[in-house]
A and B are shown apart, each in its own frame.
Chain A
Amino acid sequence: MEYCKKCVIPQTAETNRFDDQGICSVCRQIEVKDGLDWVKREKNLKEVIKKYKNQNDYDCIVPFSGGKDSTFTLWYLVKILGLKVLAVRYDHNFLRNTLNHNVEKTLTKLSVDFISYKSNFKLIRKIMKESLIRRGDFCWHCHVGICAFPINTACEKNIPLLFYGEPSSEYSSYYDYNDNEELNVEKFNIISNLGIQAEDMMEMLKERYPNEVFDDRDFKPFFFPSQRELNKKKIKALYLGSYIPWDVKKQVEIIKRELDWRGESVEGVPPEYDYEKIECALQGSRDYTKYLKRGFGRTSHLTSIDIRNKKKTREEAIELVKKFDGKKPKSLELLLQILNISEDEYNEIVKKHLIYPNTISTKKENENRNIFHEEFEDLKNKFRD
C-alpha cells in the first residue's frame, strides 16, 4: 500500500493521484491555495451577491446541517455579507443532541428562517441497507438528501442562489481550485450519489423486496432536477470556500465565540478535533466502514489536513493515526440494530468492497471512550423495533 509522502492518505482514497515525487494531488491542491488570487475571488463573490440580492423572497439558501462548515457559512453570509438567508436542512435521522443545541442557538442568534426535512425511517433503513450492500457505504440517503433537498427547495421557492461551505478541492481531487465548482447534475453524479440516482434506488428496493409495495412518492426528495431545469431557473449552487480561503480552525474559533457553538467528542477521532463531524450519531460507524474498505479512517483524514496547513508534522500524524484509526465503534451496535444484521453479516458485506490493494483489517481494538453518554440509550430506544 502506497502512502502520500507528505500527508498520510494512501492510494485507496477515491481520487488522489500521486505525482512523481510521491505527493498526492490533494496536498498539491492545498499547496497552491495560498498563491491564488483571493482578492479577485472575493471581488467575484461580491459581484455574484449583487446579482442575486433582493431579487426573490430570500437572497440565498444555505444548506445548513449545524456542523462547523455550514454554521460558519451561515454566519458569514448573514453577518458579513448582510444577506437574507433561508437555512435548509435535510435531516438524516441521526442528529446528535449537541448538534441540535448548536442549531437552535445559531438560528436564534442569527435570526434566520429555517426549513428541515426528514424522510420516514422505515424507508431510510431499507435505503441504508441497500446502499451498504451495493457500495459498502450506508449513507446514500444523506449524501443525496443534502444535495437534492436544498436544490429542490431552491427550484420550488424560486431562490436560485445557494451557498455550501468548503469546495471539494479541499479534500479530494474530483475538482481543483481552478475549476468553477458548482453543484450541478454532473457533480451530483460524480461525488454525491455513489453512482446511484433516485430511480436506481427505487428499482433496487423493488427488486430486493418484491413482496412489498413501495410508493414512488417516497423517493421524490432524492430526485435531483435536470440540468435543463437548473439552467433555465439559473440555479447557482456555489461554495463559499471558492471565494474566501477556507481555514477550519480559524472558522471554528469564530463560531464558538460568536454563536456559542459547542464541540463534541466523536468516535475514532482525537479529542482535539471536537469540531469535526459532530452531526451524526453513526459517524463512527461510517468512518469504521471506510477504514475496513480503504485502510484509513477519520484521524488519517484530519491529521492530513493539519499537515497540509502546516499545523502538524507527519510523525505526529502517524502517532495519532496508530492510536485512533480503525477501532470498532460503539455506534456499530446501533447500526446493526437498524439494519437488522449481525456483525458477521456486516463484515461479509464490507469485505466485498475492499479497495485494491487494501486487505482485511486485523486490528482488534474497540473504541472504549465514553463518547455518547446518555445519548446512546436514547438512540437505541428511538430505533428499536
Chain B
Amino acid sequence: MTYLRIIPSLLLKNKKLIKGVKFKNHIIAGNPKTTIQTFDSQKSDEIFLIDLDAYKNSKPDFEELKKITATINTPLTFGGGLNSIENIKLAFLNGADKVYISSAIQNNDKIVKDVSLIYGNQSIVGGINLMTDSNNFSMLNYDIDPISFAKKLVDLGVGEIKITFVNLEGSRKGFNLNICEKFLKNIKIPLIFEGGIGSLEDIEKAADAGVQNIALGTLLIFSDYNIFKIKQHLSNKGYKIRN
C-alpha cells in the first residue's frame, strides 16, 4: 500500500495565486513563490499549479514558474495552455517535473506520444474536468463518456490522471465518492481527485473510499489548516501518511 498523497492545488493568474468557486469568482490567495515555498517546507507530497491566464492567451507564465521552482524540492506539476511540444519543453525547462495536459489531448491526442518520447510517460498527467450531479457526470465542454475518455488516456500512455469536480470546487461538500469509486474501479493508473474538500472529514471519507491522491485548494487557502496539521490529523486516525 502506498502513502496517501496530499497535494496543494493552486491557480496562477496575473502573477498571483487565486482561488475560485466553480471555476469562477476568483479571489486573490497569495504570492506564488512564497506560498509554494511554504508548502514545500511543510512537506506537501506534491504541488499542482495551473496557469489560468494561459488558457486565454496560450502563453503560460514560464517566468513565474521559473521563480517558483527555483527554491523548492517538491515535485511540481504544471498545466494551463500546454498545447504544443514547444510549450511543454519550456515547462520542463523552467522547472516543472510533470505536465498537466487536458484540452490539448482532446484536440490532438498524438501529443502524449510526442511528449513521452522525449520525457517519458510518467511525466504526463492527463486531465478530466467533470460536471456532476448526484450520479450523473459528464465532461466539461467535451461530449464523451468520462470513463471511456479515461481509458483512452491510459491507452495513449499518460502516467496519471487528474479528475476535477468542477461544480464542487470551493463548495466544501466533499468529493462525489460514487464517481470516485467508478473511476477507481475502471482505471488502474494513479488517479488524483480535486474539487470540494472542505474539512478533514472530507479527506478521511475520500481516503476510505480508496482515493490515494487528494488535491486541496480551498482548505489550504482560506483556513488555518496547513499541510502539517492535515497530515498529523490523518496520521492520528491511522491512515498511511508520509511524515
**Beta-carbon contact of A353 and B71 below 8 Å:** no
Q: Enumerate chain B residues within 8 angstroms of A136, measured Cβ to Cβ.
A: 224
Chain B residue with Cβ nearest A352:
B223
Interface residues of A in 219-263 (CB under 8 A from B): 226-227
A208 to B126, CA, bound (A): 38
- Say yes or no for B232: interface residue by CB 8 A criterion: yes
Name the segment of A34-42, A116-124, A185-193 touching the other chain. Answer: A185-193
**Beta-carbon contact of B226 and A195 below 8 Å:** yes
- Say yes or no for A17: interface residue by CB 8 A criterion: yes
Residues of A within 8 A of B (CB): 11, 14-18, 135-136, 173-174, 185-190, 193, 195, 197, 199-200, 203, 207, 226-227, 293, 353, 355-356
- Say yes or no for B148: interface residue by CB 8 A criterion: no
**Beta-carbon contact of B228 and A190 below 8 Å:** yes
- Say yes or no for B37: interface residue by CB 8 A criterion: yes
Q: Give me 24 A-to-B residue pairs in the complex whose CB atoms sit less than 8 angstroms apart, sorted by A's number.
A: A11-B236, A14-B228, A14-B232, A16-B232, A17-B232, A135-B224, A186-B41, A187-B41, A189-B41, A189-B42, A190-B41, A190-B42, A190-B228, A195-B42, A195-B226, A197-B31, A197-B34, A199-B31, A199-B33, A203-B31, A293-B224, A355-B224, A356-B199, A356-B200
Q: How many A-B residue pairs have CB under 8 A?
A: 62
**Beta-carbon contact of A189 and B37 below 8 Å:** yes
- With beta carbons under 8 angstroms apart, the residue of A14, A187, A226 that contacts B229 is A14
Q: Enumerate chain A residues within 8 angstroms of B28, measured Cβ to Cβ.
A: 203, 207
**Beta-carbon contact of A174 and B41 below 8 Å:** no
Known: A135-B224, A356-B199. A18 touches B34 (CB 8 A): no
**Beta-carbon contact of B38 and A189 below 8 Å:** yes
**Beta-carbon contact of A174 and B228 below 8 Å:** yes
**Beta-carbon contact of B228 and A15 below 8 Å:** yes
- Say yes or no for B94: interface residue by CB 8 A criterion: no
Q: Enumerate chain A residues within 8 angstroms of B233, measured Cβ to Cβ.
A: 11
- With beta carbons under 8 angstroms apart, the residue of A17, A187, A356 that contacts B235 is A17
Known: A353-B223, A353-B224. A15 touches B37 (CB 8 A): no
Chain B residue with Cβ nearest A187:
B41
Is chain B's interface secondary structure helix, strand, loop, or mixed overall? Answer: helix
- With beta carbons under 8 angstroms apart, the residue of A190, A199, A227, A356 that contacts B71 is A227
A193 to B41, CA, bound (A): 12
A195 to B31, CA, bound (A): 11
Q: Enumerate chain A residues within 8 angstroms of B40, measured Cβ to Cβ.
A: 189
Known: A11-B236, A16-B232, A18-B236. A195 touches B38 (CB 8 A): yes
A18 to B236, CA, bound (A): 6
- Say yes or no for B116: interface residue by CB 8 A criterion: no
A82 to B228, CA, bound (A): 39
- Say yes or no for B30: interface residue by CB 8 A criterion: yes
A187 to B41, CA, bound (A): 7
- Say yes or no for B84: interface residue by CB 8 A criterion: no
A118 to B130, CA, bound (A): 53
Interface residues of B in 217-243 (CB under 8 A from A): 223-224, 226, 228-229, 232-233, 235-236
- Say yes or no for B121: interface residue by CB 8 A criterion: no
Q: Enumerate chain A residues within 8 angstroms of B37, measured Cβ to Cβ.
A: 185, 189, 197
Extra pairs beyond A185-B71, A189-B40, A203-B28 (8, CB < 8 Å): A15-B228, A17-B232, A173-B232, A186-B41, A195-B35, A197-B31, A197-B34, A356-B200
A84 to B28, CA, bound (A): 48
